[in-house]
Structure 1
Amino acid sequence: MTRTEKPDDVVLVYTTAASLVEAETIAEELMEHRLIACANILPGMRSLYRWKGQVERAEEVVMILKTVRSRLAEAQARFREAHSYDTPAFLVVDVPEGDEAYLAWLRVETA
């Protein structure tokens, strides 16, 4: 953690899942343990990526998970356990500002 980061800093996690069912299952697991406050699930994405030397194409589901920095390590560990991919995306984006009422709600839901 850098000097400017705080345990209650809000972050977004960008990730994908293989199916809508998998995305909802992962989101519900993380919410049940208060590791995220919210998950936006966006089905119907088409991905092209290089994997083991080959260009792959896949239908995927985008997930944007909303949490706080202090819950991130446990959220990532549970996420990896529940995910079907060998190397799932788990990209963390800082949220430097936002609507204070919304950020307060998010912090309460992940406490």
Structure 2
Amino acid sequence: MSENKQYGVVFVTAESETQARSIASALVKEKYAACVSLMPVHSVYTWENEVQSDSEWQLLIKTDLAYYSQLETRINELHSYDVPEIIALPIQSGLAPYLNWIGETVSPE
């Protein structure tokens, strides 16, 4: 991994495929993410003291965590949930050319 770089994967759920695609496209276009993978999921969770069960879309956002704060702000601007899932996990190791590609691609203004 390049020095002074901390690459990571940020998990976000969205209420629909349309919203997930919209968020993903904006993040890649604006260079907050090198890649966003989308997949349908079913989530069971507690919200307002009630157990909920909903179909959602999971976004796996590959990024440089140096920009996490800006990324989080942008996701909140794009997202419809009051409290969206935004969880960042560092990438401990990975294929060097792939990690270098993330570093070369992620550069929001």
Same fold (TM over 0.5): yes
What is the aligned length? 105
**Percent of aligned pairs sharing the same letter:** 29
What amino acid sits opposite 1:65 in the alignment?
A: I
Match of 2:13 in 1: 16
| Structure 2: runs of 5 or more not aligned | none
- 1:1-111 equivalences in 2 (<5 Å): 6=4, 8-43=5-40, 45-111=41-107
Compute the displacement of 1:48 (Å). Answer: 0.9
What amino acid sits opposite 2:21 in the alignment?
A: E
Report runs of 4+ in structure 1 exceeding 6 Å deviation.
Answer: none
Q: TM-score, normalised by structure 2?
A: 0.91
CA distance in 2, matches of 1:47, 1:99: 31
Compute the displacement of 1:71 (Å). Answer: 1.5
| Structure 1: runs of 5 or more not aligned | none
Compute the displacement of 1:15 (Å). Answer: 1.5
